[in-house]
Amino acid sequence: MIARKSGWMNEELQIFSGSVRKFFEREALPHNERWNAEGKIDRDFWNKAGEAGLLCVTIPEEYGGMGGDFRHEAVIVQQEQWTHFSGWGNGVHSGICAPYILAYGTEEQKRRWLPKLATGEMVAAIAMTEPGTGSDLQAVRTTAKRDGASLVINGQKTFITNGQHADLIIVVCKTGDVSGGAKNISLVVVEANEVTGYRRGRNLEKVGLHAQDTSELFFDDVRVPADNVLGGDEGRGFYQLMQQLPRERLIIALGSVARIIPLIGAAAQGREQYPTPHNQT
């Protein structure tokens, strides 16, 4: 196989890539088959990844992160694919949820949640999709209604990555009239272990990503402090989603391309099995 070097790679990233690979080979691959069969990875893998510095790599060090940039995230995504470890929802945890909190959270929210996400003490999920609402996010029906200093959440979500493990869930809710559109949407953070009325549903069967716990979630009168609205102001959620969703799409595209490169090489050489590209950067 011809080794190719990406323009964005440098020596530091190369070394990081090697250590990520070794971490997956040591801590994930021996369990991969079992995790695929069980439909989720072991919870303590998140803590091990936190200890190894693989969580929240783009989050500044003052909030517990590694202080890296999107290239560090990309290296992890690539190595997940190249080692054939595809059940970890870190793209959602570190690549999506933590950046939402960093970008829009109040100082208090950032200090409260980001360090726990960086160590793996908390696993994060983002709950947008509902049984009747996918692409058209303005149509979500989950509500978060004011009751004094609280918000009371009612609704159902589905296809939520990290759904079985998540302790911190960014929930897309209507804080205004449910039939209203974008301006009524807020992102409300639910700390799953601190509330009543929150329930994890089925861990859904999928055609791939078998070890990724993509789940149904239920919210029945879940009461959270009104301060848990991301950024503090209601009605900003749709704009926050529109600004961050391209990053999510980029991570998914990166993973897809990383997966495909060895397949193209193998097909070109008439091989059925494809090697993992140790030196393909």
Ligand X SMILES: Cc1cc2nc3c(=O)[nH]c(=O)nc-3n(C[C@H](O)[C@H](O)[C@H](O)COP(=O)(O)OP(=O)(O)OC[C@H]3O[C@@H](n4cnc5c(N)ncnc54)[C@H](O)[C@@H]3O)c2cc1C
Annotated active-site positions, please? 248
Interacting span for ligand X (CB under 6 A) from 51-59, 148-156, 159-167, 268-276: 159-167
In the region spanning residues 200 to 229, those forming contacts with ligand X, defined by CB under 6 A, are 206, 209, 214
Answer yes or no whether residue 41 interacts with ligand X by CB under 6 A: no
> In whole angstroms, how close is the CB of 32 to ligand X at the nearest point?
17
Interacting residue with ligand X among 17, 83, 142, 161 (CB under 6 A): 161
3-state DSSP of the chain? CCCCCCCCCCHHHHHHHHHHHHHHHHHCHHHHHHHHHHCCCCCHHHHHHHHCCCCCCCCCHHHCCCCCCHHHHHHHHHHHHHCCCCCCCHHHHHHHHHHHHHHHCCHHHHHHHHHHHHHCCCCEEEECCECCECCCHHHCCCEEEEECCEEEEEEEEEEECCCCCCCEEEEEEECCCCCCCHHHEEEEEEEHHHCCCEEEEEECCCCCCCCCCCEEEEEEEEEEEHHHECCCCCCCHHHHHHHHHHHHHHHHHHHHHHHHHHHHHHHHCCCCCCCCCCCCC
Which is closer to ligand X, CB of 30 or CB of 208? 208
Answer yes or no whether residue 17 interacts with ligand X by CB under 6 A: no
The 75-94 site mask, x for binding ligand X (CB under 6 A), equals -----------------x--
Number of residues located near ligand X, criterion CB under 6 A: 14
Answer yes or no whether residue 193 interacts with ligand X by CB under 6 A: no
Interacting span for ligand X (CB under 6 A) from 42-50, 129-137, 148-156, 262-270: 129-137
Interacting span for ligand X (CB under 6 A) from 1-9, 143-151, 153-161, 216-224: 153-161
> In whole angstroms, how close is the CB of 69 to ligand X at the nearest point?
23
Answer yes or no whether residue 134 interacts with ligand X by CB under 6 A: yes
Residues lying near ligand X in the complex (CB under 6 A) are found at 92, 125-129, 134-135, 159-161, 206, 209, 214
